[in-house]
């Protein structure tokens, strides 16, 4: 597969799939701050009452009874139902929904580690045969400081230059698990030029992501679908890139076209994808060719 293109890209370009979400997050900022101030006031008053009550009974204040799981200490016993993970996920999203005042700042280590924990638990539950890491090694890795990373359409990218056997060399942490949506992405992560083709509307993007689930065992957290572009030579064809969030397989790309009035993925892989199906001029627009062309 060709080397990934790393052209800086601004989310104001319609090809950024999170632009509308970032706009919604920005509009919600004022509401979040107002809500936070109101909740903080109520919490402060409730805390004072609770402490006064505890003092009158000689009981020390023990703080909140529900806590986010400790970072790097997640376990993979998975005797608990995956519903428990979803509940924790909802808690993380609830806690971080307002996000930082600047959505383009690096997510905190706390946000990233909580999101990675949920991502890993989901993967172990749904794809146990594909797990290629060691639990103890990953636990140790996440107990240390995280690398700097950068923002991509697929998620916040973390890469460890030095990592122990059995730990992760890299991870794409999805934005919805982080609870933060940037206005700008620092990197584009497709194997074709960022300027090739033309943007697709959100409705088409959602259709492509939905149909591609058939190639991801129905798990939207297996890979991120990014770089979705119309061909300008034949708008009946769309190209997309699939980026695995955890490093269990290689990135791939695919082609989709309209069948019976719906966008359907017709081929997906890492090389010679769409050969014999996708027109040669559409392939060449994105820098690809087939042996018989």
Q: Going residue by residue through the chain (293 aa), what tens digit of pLDDT does each one get?
A: 444 443 333 333 333 444 444 444 444 444 444 444 444 444 445 444 444 444 343 333 333 333 334 334 444 443 344 444 444 444 444 444 454 568 889 999 999 999 999 999 999 999 999 999 999 999 999 999 999 999 999 999 999 999 999 999 999 999 999 999 998 888 778 989 988 999 999 999 999 999 999 999 999 999 999 999 999 999 999 999 999 999 999 999 999 999 999 999 999 999 999 999 999 999 999 999 999 76
DSSP 8-state code for residue 55: H
The angle at the Cα of 114, spanning 97 to 121, to the nearest 5 degrees, equals: 120
Q: How many CB atoms lie within 10 A of CB 79?
A: 6
* 8 A C-beta contact, residue 10 and residue 16: yes
Confidence at residue 293, expressed as pLDDT on a 0 to 100 scale: 63
Contacts of 96 (CB under 8 A, 6+ apart): 111, 178, 179, 180
pLDDT value at residue 80: 43
Strand partners, 229: 199, 239
Exposed / middle / buried, residue 193 (Cβ in 10 Å: 0-12, 13-18, 19+): middle
Query: Looking at the whole model, is its pTM more than 0.75?
Result: no
Q: How many other C-beta atoms can be found within 10 angstroms of the C-beta atom of residue 114?
A: 28
**In the prediction, which pLDDT does 271 show?**
93
The pLDDT, as a whole number, for residue 61 is: 38
- Residue 226's φ and ψ, nearest 5 degrees, are -135, 175
pLDDT at 100: 54
Q: What three-state secondary structure class fits 48? A: helix
Q: Give the residue among 33, 12, 6 at the shortest CA–CA distance from 182.
A: 12
* pLDDT score for 171: 98
C-alpha–C-alpha distance, residues 23 and 9, integer Å: 16
List the domain boundaries for the chain.
Answer: 13-42+71-185, 198-285
Q: Contact 200/230 with Cβ under 8 angstroms?
A: yes
pLDDT at 263: 97
């Amino acid at each position: 597969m060709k080397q990934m293109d790393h052209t800086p890209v601004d989310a104001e370009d319609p090809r950024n799939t999170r632009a509308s979400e970032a706009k919604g997050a920005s509009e919600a900022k004022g509401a979040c701050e107002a809500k936070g101030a109101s909740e903080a006031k109520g919490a402060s008053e409730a805390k004072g009452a609770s402490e006064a009550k505890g003092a009158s009974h000689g009981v020390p204040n023990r703080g909140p009874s529900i806590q986010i799981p400790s970072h790097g200490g997640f376990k993979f016993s998975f005797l608990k139902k995956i519903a428990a993970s979803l509940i924790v996920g909802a808690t993380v999203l609830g806690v971080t929904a307002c996000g930082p005042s600047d959505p383009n700042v690096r997510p905190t280590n706390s946000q990233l580690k909580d999101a990675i924990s949920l991502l890993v638990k989901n993967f172990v539950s749904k794809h146990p045969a594909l797990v290629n890491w060691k639990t103890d090694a990953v636990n140790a890795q996440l107990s240390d400081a995280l690398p700097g990373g950068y923002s991509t359409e697929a998620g916040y990218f973390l890469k460890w230059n030095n990592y122990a056997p059995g730990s992760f060399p890299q991870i794409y942490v999805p934005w919805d698990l982080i609870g933060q949506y940037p206005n700008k992405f620092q990197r584009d992560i497709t194997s074709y030029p960022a300027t090739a083709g033309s943007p697709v509307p959100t409705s088409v993007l959602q259709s492509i992501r939905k149909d591609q689930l058939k190639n991801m065992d129905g798990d939207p957290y297996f890979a991120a679908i990014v770089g979705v572009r119309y061909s300008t030579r034949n708008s009946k064809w769309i190209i997309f890139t699939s980026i695995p969030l955890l490093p269990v397989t290689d990135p791939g790309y695919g082609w989709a076209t309209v069948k019976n009035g719906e966008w359907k993925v017709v081929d997906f892989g890492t090389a010679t994808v769409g050969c014999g199906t996708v027109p040669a001029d559409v392939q060449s627009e994105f820098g690809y060719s087939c042996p018989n062309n």
